[in-house]
Chains A and B, each alone.
Chain A
Amino acid sequence: MNVFGDAVRFLNDPFNWTRPGSGILDLLVQHLQISGAAVALALLVALPLGTWLGHTGRGGAFTVALSNVGRAVPTLAILTIFAVTPIGFGPQATTLALALFAIPPVLTNTYVGFRQVDRDVVEAARAMGMTGRQVTFRAELPLAMPLLMTGVRTAAVQVVATATLAALVAGGGLGRIINLGFGQQNYGQVVAGAIVVAALAVLTELVFVALSWLLTPGPRTLPRLRRRPAAA
């Protein structure tokens, strides 16, 4: 477990945190910028599209197929291909690649979330005189919210974790610590970088769990304190 001792030693050195340009703090900012931009871009595309398609029930097979193509393309392949096109190396290529990578989970979950809404509920909402827009946002959206937020959370955590690959195309971010460690055969540094990225991703997960809890309608008890349903 010498490697873990080395990792702790690496993390315990303040200079490794504050070194300008390549310290953990500077790389963290870069990492968050790339991840944030990628997730925002993905949500901008996937949420409206998933909502519309899920609400109308149109193009379902097409959406899922398109979504699968997006997910099936390896991030490594996108990064490599972008690097040999005029987009070139750097944060832009990484952001684009990660955004493409983040669209499928959001799109699929949003679409499925809307489609899984009980048709009787939709019919009842219509019968009550709701317009299409009202049905979408007042009846379907709240019911689709848990799955929708699962998609967003999955995408966010995935982006934060895979943004480490940015280092392979000179895009910066926390992956550079790992990459540099590999290059120098310094596995302590590799593990230290992994610990930092994992901690960041767990934090992301927690933030989105809280967010999803806030956005999901219904009785807002804490998950742990919720009583078992009487039927179970």
Chain B
Amino acid sequence: MKILIVDDSKAMRMIVIRTLRQAGYGHHDLAEATNGAEALAAARVAGPDLILSDWNMPEMNGLQLLEGLRAEGYKGPFCFVTSESTDDMKERAFAAGAKAFVTKPFTPEALASALGTVLS
């Protein structure tokens, strides 16, 4: 399974990757992108099976990325991993097609639980 991790922070991408490994997802193909625009380009080429994306990023934010992916026909599961988690943001995320919303800071268990739901 190809998992694309999208976050403008290298530190957070490393934390997500480390957490994925702890949660038993380390054997999958883990790729990284630093903003929505880069992720959109990567998704066109690689066709990830799962996207874990931050919301607040320069150039193209996570919601714009999700809307762009859906407009291009991408139907794979998309999960937000973000420090903001207001009801309004969750509503907009799920309306746009997100499957899960994980709030930073997160525990390995919280991320694993969300991924379990998304991938089931």
To the question of whether A and B form a pair in one complex, the answer is no
A residues apposed to B, CB below 8 Å: none
